[in-house]
Structure 1
Amino acid sequence: MMHDVIIVGGSYAGLSAAMQVARARRKVLVIDAGQRRNRFSETSHGFLGRDGHAPGAIASEAQGQLLAYPTVEFISGAAIAASGEIDAFRVDLADGSTVEGRRIVLATGVEDVLPDVPGLAAQWGIGAMTCPYCHGYELNRGRIGVLASGPMSLHQAAMLPEWGQTTLLANGVFDPADPQLADLAERGVAMEFATVAAVEGEPGSPVVVLSDGRRLPMDGLFVATRTRIVTPLPQMLGCAIAEGPQGPYVATDAMKATTVPGVFACGDVASPMASVAISVGHGALAGAAVHRSIIFPQTVAKAA
């Protein structure tokens, strides 16, 4: 069976893209491996109409709404390879099966790579997070630690006093220059230069243990993680990869077309900025654009 669109990734961006295609009465296949990036978080914030809801519940309800459309098929499984060209793409699945489609939308997401600090992973998504807009308000202007992981941590620390009493934990990653220290001080950010030995405490109540034995209870920790693309599919298809401040992502134009004709990308895999709201918006753009590329094939071109 030749699908009009194959969407690899069935989280917020992929489901949003699929909805646009389904509402155009086109045959759309969604392939999802079930590894949402925010699966560690108990609640999602900042998405209009669903603020404070469980991330899994949002995705599950969206999937149910999508499957009400008769032209939609959903496969729970991993896509392990992709090849072909416009109007003749092929995607191989981990179970040995193969599907074909005229267009592909990559919505596979990314993976967060945490600093190698004992105990940090146990807090991830609960007491340690990356986005203040998603999780800062709930800290009630409490004690916030920023665990340095690279240059982006300076920007993150300068932002966070909006949400609480902020301490930048340099952790030996970098030594801020005097102008940077002055900027942080002006924003009310405290500095801690001792190395972080571990993160302890119950999930949601992190305690930073320093190398000199001091213990700093925090209401929340923020980390500017590195990210990595979780699948080789973009490279297999020949998509150009851009380098963002936190890691690589698939390069697209404003309508989410990649550098390969007929291949689109949306969500975290195609943006250096991440949130449920942004992913849903970019997915809607990609879905509309991929549909238009089918009905107006003469407009299909490589992304700039």
Structure 2
Amino acid sequence: MKKDKAWDAIIIGGSYAGLSAAMSLGRSLRRTLIIDDEQPCNRQTPHSHNFLTQDGRTPKEIATLAQSQVMSYPDVSRLQGSVVRAKKYTEGFSVETADGQIFETKKLILAGGIQDLLPSIPGLAACWGITAIHCPYCHGYEFRTKETAILADGDRAFHLAGMVRNLTANLTLITSPKHFNEVQLAQLKRNQISILDVDITAIQHDAGKMSSLELSNGDIQAVDALYVAAPFVQRDDIYQQLGCALTENGYIKVDGFQKTSTDGVYACGDNSSMMRSVATAVYTGNLTGAMVNRELVEEEFNREVI
């Protein structure tokens, strides 16, 4: 195993949140190492939206430009790989990569994102991020007025129905009516949103662009887009190894400064925010980098001279 000298900060995850944190730290002259496995959750998404100056560009284009700008700061380094172990010590942390490299750092930033647990419906994975979508703000405008379905239950389905109904009147909920109360059912009916109490058995698509849903009752439902309220898990267990708490919804618990419940560990991006967008990831990463630098400054500036 190869052991490297200590860094000021190590960032696990090098997509938008991690790169944004690294820029804050690089501009503060902090020796920063980004470790990234190059598997962003939006790698299939054709275009990114709702982010000023970058609207309509591909996620890859935005990430490539961001990486080139961040890596222009000489105190920032990047390593392709994945972290499999992390330990906390009195004066900092150590992390070990899958290929056996060990790095030591004063502060640790978790920016690895989350992993969606998609239903095992044939065709869904191929459409994910293209026409099988999760967020009306990120994708809804492109499917305005289109034939749209929502695969979700209960309050989540009702919330999505209201959001998506604002964009298209051609809307169907695929769920059981028993998941709604009488008031909700009346509101769905008033807004002419139909409910299909069936299962999706397969999705017909061409390179991720869906055309129809095959249903368990034998029917074919024509659709252009399907919103899916999929559950998720954290992409790795590093937060658990470090003792970081989760919220009741499964996100890493952070305070207003992106600090986790473990001293010296911060989190940013999708792993700690239900607002899942490039803009939010960049914001939380920027704040995280600034707060890590502030903590380092306070520790160094206030250090007692013996």
> Structure 1 regions of 5+ residues with no counterpart?
300-304
TM alignment of 1:1-304, pairs within 5 A: 1-85=5-89, 87-149=91-153, 151-164=155-168, 165-170=170-175, 172=176, 175-202=179-206, 203-244=208-249, 248-297=250-299
Secondary structure in structure 2 of the residue aligned to 1:10: coil
Q: CA deviation at 1:279?
A: 0.6
Q: In percent, how many aligned pairs have the same letter?
A: 39
CA distance in 1, matches of 2:300, 2:183: 53
Change beyond 3 A, Cα 1:168–1:298 = farther
CA distance in 2, matches of 1:155, 1:86: 46
Aligned letter for 2:122? P
8 A contact 2:47–2:59 mirrored in 1: yes
Contact kept in structure 2, 1:85 and 1:261, CA below 8 Å: no
Q: Contact 1:7–1:31 (CA<8 Å) still a contact in 2?
A: yes
Per-residue CA shift, 1:76-126, capped at 9, x if unaligned? 000111012364210000110101110001001001111232221121111
Query: Secondary structure of 1:104's match?
Result: strand
The CA deviation at 1:150 is 5.6
- Give, in whole Å, the separation in 1 of the partners of 2:271 and 2:211: 29
Q: 1:149 to 1:181 in 2, by over 3 A?
A: closer
State whether residues 154 and 180 of structure 2, in contact with CA within 8 Å, keep that contact through their aligned partners in structure 1.
no
Deviation of the 1:201 alpha carbon: 2.6
Is the partner of 1:179 in helix, strand or coil? helix
Aligned partner letter, 1:211? S
Gaps of at least 5 residues in structure 2 are 302-306
Please say which of residues 39-48 and 184-193 is displaced more in the overlay. Answer: 184-193
User: In the alignment, residue 224 of structure 2 is paired with which amino acid?
Assistant: D
Amino acid at match of 2:245: A
Q: What RMSD in Å do the two structures reach over aligned CA positions?
A: 1.8
- Residue identity matched to 1:275: S
Task: Please give the per-residue CA displacement for 1:146-205, whole angstroms capped at 9, x wherever unaligned.
Answer: 0125641221122101121211111x5953232111122233422112332221132223
Distance change in 2, residues 1:150/1:175 (3 Å): closer
AA aligned opposite 2:29: R
Change (3 A) 1:8 1:173: farther
How far apart are the structure 2 equivalents of 1:37 and 1:190? 31
TM-score, length-scaled by structure 2: 0.92
The answer as to whether partners of 2:21 and 2:286 remain within 8 angstroms in 1 is yes
Query: Deviating runs (4+, > 3 A) in structure 1?
Result: 172-175
TM-aligned CA distance change 1:58 to 1:9, over 3 Å = same
Contact conserved, 2:85 with 2:241, CA < 8 A, in 1?
Answer: yes
Q: What's the TM-score, normalizing by structure 1? A: 0.93
Q: Is the 8 A contact 2:115 2:233 kept in 1?
A: yes
Relative to structure 1, the CA distance from residue 106 to residue 140 in structure 2 (aligned partners, 3 Å threshold; closer, same or farther) is same
Structure 1 CA distance for aligned equivalents of residues 196 and 76 of structure 2: 53
How much does 1:243 deviate?
2.1
Partner of 1:302: none
Which whole-Å deviations, capped at 9, do the CAs of 1:231-274 have from their partners, x for residues lacking one?
Answer: 11101111111122xxx111000110011111100001111221
Residue 254 of structure 2: SS of its match in structure 1?
coil
